[in-house]
Amino acid sequence: MIRRGRHWLSQTISRQQTAGALSESIKSDGAAGVGGPARRVFMFAGLAALALVPPIALMLQQPFYLDLFTRIMIFAIAALSLDLILGFGGMVSFGHAAYLGIGAYAVGIAGYYGITDGFAHFGIAVLVSALTALLIGLVSLRTSGVFFIMITLAFGQMIYFLGLSVNKFGGDDGMTIAEHSRFAGVDLFADPAGLYYFTFCALVLFLWIGFRLVRSRFGMVIRGAKSNERRMGAIGFPTFRYKLCAFVASGAMCGFAGALLANQALFVSPALVHWTRSGEILVMVILGGVGTLFGPILGAVLYLVLEDVLSGVMDYWQLVLGLILLTFVLFVRTGIVGIADWQRRGVRHA
């Protein structure tokens, strides 16, 4: 009886209160990544450009670019999944590569046991990474701030060492995957363009889901918890459960990206899960712009293109990349998306 009463109360209060609490944070966030009209035009132009990559690569006889951009879009999905909890929920997960690895190993291990069906592959990848995220989230979300960063980092390394020590699936050397995922018996990914457009559609789908999620009641609660968790709790929202849900959804999405990555490389190894990989995903999000939907995609493009160009020119490309990143943090301080509307918003971290 009392429980029901409290629940009813929280429901009524929440409708009015969240609106007030959130309009404030939305104002300071510049529509929180959903973007103004200019940004939206830019986003559609960018997606259209991505859709045109395969014919252009074919025309230029450079199939390599198809590969590069497939990789970029896969990492864009991973970065987007991280930004959904990092930018909108304030949860800095430093172990996101773990889900990437789990998704990739799901395809590899299922293939090892003779399962080639794509629905099964992607289903297992999403389910197992969601389950792992649930377990990791249950422990790590009890903490916040720097603790949360270090704990997710440590759990990521745990998955890394797990992959390293299971000799049956290649251990340190990794495992080669014999076949692509097949959908209803059709090898959709035999043609690189097939994989490209599949990845492209997944990216657009996840962007749309992210767009809807951020504006939904659920997204409002998550964003409210980021700006003031105690207030959201006082209003009557069980913020822990909301955050855990978001954490699991993000892990599942990243697991999907991992399954795509396995299909692209036809190889998985624990190196995919190493903490520096988690760092790279984080860097993509920060480079592109935290708390925006299109930022992580831009960040993935910038990071991987930089990596590709620099490593083609010199041996010690990480040195240059590190210097660029350092300069970026110390002097620029906002993501690429942030630079674009610097004047409108002022400097972000103030």
Q: Is residue 126 within 8 Å of residue 260, measured between CB atoms? A: no
169 alpha-carbon distance from chain centroid: 26
Chosen residue from 172, 233, 276, 346 binding another protein by CB under 8 A: 276
Interaction between residue 273 and another protein (CB under 8 A):
no
Least distance in angstroms from the C-beta of 150 to another protein: 5
Q: Is residue 93 within 8 Å of residue 292, measured between CB atoms? A: no
Interaction between residue 326 and another protein (CB under 8 A):
yes
| Closest-CA residue to 284 (of 91, 130, 77, 137) | 77
DSSP string, 180-203: --BBTTB-TTSSHHHHHHHHHHHH
Least distance in angstroms from the C-beta of 271 to another protein: 12
| Closest-CA residue to 269 (of 122, 171, 151) | 171
Distance CA 118, CA 287 (A): 33
- Residue among 87 and 118 whose Cβ is closer to another protein: 87
Distance CA 260, CA 272 (A): 13
Least distance in angstroms from the C-beta of 144 to another protein: 9
Site string for another protein, 277-316 (x = CB under 8 A): --x--xx--x---x-------------------------x
CA dihedral defined by 327, 329, 333, 334, rounded to 10 degrees?
100
- Residue among 154 and 204 whose Cβ is closer to another protein: 154
Least distance in angstroms from the C-beta of 156 to another protein: 9
Interaction between residue 92 and another protein (CB under 8 A):
yes
Interaction between residue 106 and another protein (CB under 8 A):
no
Chosen residue from 88, 155, 189, 303 binding another protein by CB under 8 A: 155
Interaction between residue 13 and another protein (CB under 8 A):
no
Distance CA 129, CA 136 (A): 10
H or E segment and range at residue 256: helix 239-265
Interaction between residue 57 and another protein (CB under 8 A):
no
Chosen residue from 190, 205, 234, 323 binding another protein by CB under 8 A: 323
- Residue among 305 and 319 whose Cβ is closer to another protein: 319
Chosen residue from 3, 20, 113, 168 binding another protein by CB under 8 A: 168
Distance CA 254, CA 249 (A): 9
Dihedral sign (CA 313, 314, 319, 320): negative
Give SS3 for 268: strand
Chosen residue from 26, 127, 166, 306 binding another protein by CB under 8 A: 166
Interaction between residue 133 and another protein (CB under 8 A):
no
Tell me which residues touch another protein (CB under 8 A).
86, 92, 94, 139-140, 142-143, 145-147, 149-151, 153-155, 157-158, 161-162, 164-168, 275-276, 279, 282-283, 286, 290, 316-319, 321-323, 325-326, 328-330, 333, 349
